[in-house]
Amino acid sequence: MRDLSWRGHLAPEDGDWVIAEVPWVGPARLVEVLGAEDRPAWDDATVASQFRLRTHFPPEVEAEAAAFHEPHARDLHSREDRRDDLVVTIDPEDARDHDDALSVRVLPGGRFEVAIHIADVSAYVRPGSALDLEARLRGSSCYLPAGVVPMLPERLSSDLCSLREDRDRLTLSVLTVLDAKGVLHEYRFAASVIRSRARLTYEQVQRSLNGDEPLPAPVRGAVQELMRLARALRARRVAVGALQLESTEVRAVLDPSGEPLALVRRPHLESHELVEEFMLLANRCVGEAASVRGSGVLWRVHEPPLGRKLAELDEMLRVLGLPRLGHLGEPHRALQGLLATPLDPPARRLVHRLALRSLTRARYLERDLGHFGLATREYLHFTSPIRRYPDLHNHRRVREWVSKARDQAWDPHENARLAAECSAREQDAAEAEREATKVKGLRLLATRLGERASGTISGLVPRGFFVELEDPPVDGFVAVGDQLDDRFDLDAAGVRLVGRRSRRRFTLGDPVVVTIARVDVHARESDLVLEDGGPRKGRRTHRRQGWR
């Protein structure tokens, strides 16, 4: 029976799993609908429940958001008016919230003013408000295949705070002066108002940079100038030890009912690097100013890898016959050299994956411990206040600097607690995103039972190994010992299984052909059966010269 008070976007049906509060007397109250296992439209809701994501905003939060209006003249008082500047946003094609925008202006003496405009969420979300308390509880937006679980209500996240084309929007801007070599000569912060002239996508910008589909003349010139400066900034970062790790993002393509049509790997484009470099620059500018002022910001820290982890990585590389780490006493130099080694695509993916596994997890902290991956100190998050609470927290400090107000007092213990909360919420959101994408991948696999598929060994345990399939890019498990009637031992480096009787070897990164044998979407499992073409005794698939 349906509960008429249910306010979700999908109504429950007979056979759906639900969570309800059942009192001793009186009617039960429907709290959450998880849907049915055979209804893909409920996949996101199930994952959101699994990770306890907050999918509904309390009425008082919605009411606060609804009370805000488009910026009026009085809202612009004391703000720097940049509405005549050629400002553009560059985002994924399916983006609904636009945190950041860029503009560039040529200055005398071969210098450039690059303005990095960030949505001024702090102008709307005040400390201690219902909006603020809810945003802190959420900590981060979570992007699931069928939509986003936002940190802020849609009235703000997709409208008033989003830097939409041809709309006046309130921003906090980092105004930088660079030369053609990417040297930062000065910067300042400003409360500003902008009007985006163009909503560009990464793909559009890349096609323009390639000369395949030029943008309109004024925009094209600005994008080309920004790209030249971004390349110079990137070269300077790499020169001081920043790592260039590559990882593949997978996106689910769905039909209106939530049924997956495909899982696609997002290509890495140079246009991504254009935006990334200026976001990193803005974050470093705010971090440097915060360090000077001693302000109570939240830092983004990434501690160096443990020596033991690097030694394990080096041993794996040795066993696999891949390029080794040199200079183990200099982690930045060792990892940079490894990641820069020319390899063919499969070997490159494997090396970058192993290197990533050896690193510590970045987190938020109330004190600055530096950022190993970026090879810098004084780094924090500032550029995504619509979707990350630490950025909103740091915006409030910048607003104090801009208004020349006295810095608010802060409690270091409270900041430490906030940093731990935000780190935990970020991890929950990231794991939920991976899980939800995996569910859609398993649904695709379930339509291909009995089919052959190609893949690569991505992980090993004594019972068998995991295979990342080429299409769709989903992991499945091969219980190789059961299938080959043999006992397999995992070597000391953790990269190879060897059969005791058959002496067959299965090594991390080996290509294999499998049959899709069983898929259990609810249990998040898929079993694969190895075809007879797998590696055999004496077959060396990882000779170094074969990887180049």
Of the two residues 347 and 190, the one the predictor is more confident about is 190
Token pair in block for residue 60: 């008082």
Please indicate whether residue 342 or residue 102 has the higher confidence score (pLDDT). Answer: 102
- Going by C-alpha positions, the residue among 258, 273, 264 that lies closest to residue 182 is 273
pLDDT level of residue 294 (50, 70, 90 thresholds):
confident
Tell me the residue length of the chain.
548
Summarize pLDDT for 15-57 with one digit per residue, the tens: 676 776 666 666 666 666 766 667 898 899 999 999 999 999 9
Residue 534 has pLDDT above 90, yes or no: no
541 has pLDDT over 60: no
pLDDT of residue 174: 98
Strands 80-81 and 184-195: parallel
Q: What is the rounded average pLDDT of the residues 531-540?
A: 50
What integer pLDDT is reported at residue 408 of this predicted model? 65
Give the pLDDT confidence score for residue 249 in this predicted structure. 87
Backbone CA torsion sign across 388, 390, 392, 394: negative
pLDDT score at 66: 97
The kind and range of the H/E element at 499 are: strand 496-499
10 Å CB burial of residue 479 (0-12, 13-18, 19+) is middle
Concatenated DSSP letters of 366-410: SS---BTTTTBSS-B--S-TTTBHHHHHHHHHHHHHHHTPPPPP-
pLDDT at position 201, please? 96
**pLDDT tens, residue by residue, 165-181:** 999 999 999 999 999 99
- How many angstroms separate the CA atoms of 510 and 140, rounded? 37
Q: What is residue 407's predicted lDDT score, i.e. its pLDDT? A: 62
pLDDT at 109 over 70: yes
d(CA 149, CA 128): 22
Average pLDDT of the chain? 90
Q: What is the pLDDT of residue 543?
A: 31
Strands 88-91 and 198-201, bridge-based pairing: parallel
Q: How confident is the model at residue 360 (pLDDT cuts 50, 70, 90)?
A: very high
**How wide is the angle at C-alpha 277 spanned by C-alphas 116 and 81, nearest 5°?**
5
**β-sheet bridge partners, residue 469:** 455
Least confident of 147-156, 324-333, 434-443: 324-333
Token pair of 175, please?
């105004």
Task: Provide the phi-psi class of 370: left if phi over 0, else alpha when psi is between -120 and 50, else beta.
Answer: left
* Residue 330: per-residue pLDDT: 85
Which range among 123-137, 273-287, 331-345, 463-477 shows the weakest confidence by mean pLDDT?
Answer: 331-345
CA angle 28, 32, 37 (to 5 degrees): 115
Per-residue pLDDT tens over the stretch 469-512: 999 999 999 999 888 889 999 999 999 999 999 899 999 999 99
Band of pLDDT at residue 281, cut at 50, 70 and 90: very high
- Output the pLDDT for position 163: 97
What was the pLDDT predicted at 329?
73
458's tokens: 């991505």
Residue pLDDT, tens place only, 366-382: 999 999 999 999 999 99
Which DSSP symbol is given to 6?
-
CATH architecture of the region 448-547: Beta Barrel (2.40)
Check: CB of residue 101 under 8 Å from CB of residue 194: yes
Give ranges for CATH 2.40.50.140 in the chain. 448-547
Interval 295-315: pLDDT, tens: 899 999 999 999 999 999 999
pLDDT for 31 equals 66
Task: Tell whether pTM > 0.85.
Answer: yes
- The H or E element spanning position 284 is helix 270-293
Q: Which residues contact 434 (CB under 8 A, 6 or more apart)?
A: none
Residues 6+ apart with CB under 8 A from 70: 160, 167, 168
Question: What integer pLDDT is reported at residue 204 of this predicted model?
Answer: 96
For residue 542, pLDDT beyond 80: no
Tens of pLDDT along 180-196? 999 999 999 999 999 99
What average pLDDT does the segment 413-440 reach?
Answer: 96
Q: Is the pLDDT of residue 331 over 80?
A: yes
Q: How many CB atoms are closer than 10 A to CB 511?
A: 15
* Mean pLDDT calculated for residue range 396-412: 83
Q: How confident is the model at residue 1, as a pLDDT?
A: 41
Per-residue pLDDT reduced to its tens digit, 225-270: 999 999 999 999 999 999 998 888 899 999 999 999 999 998 889 9
Q: What is the CA radius of gyration of the chain?
A: 26
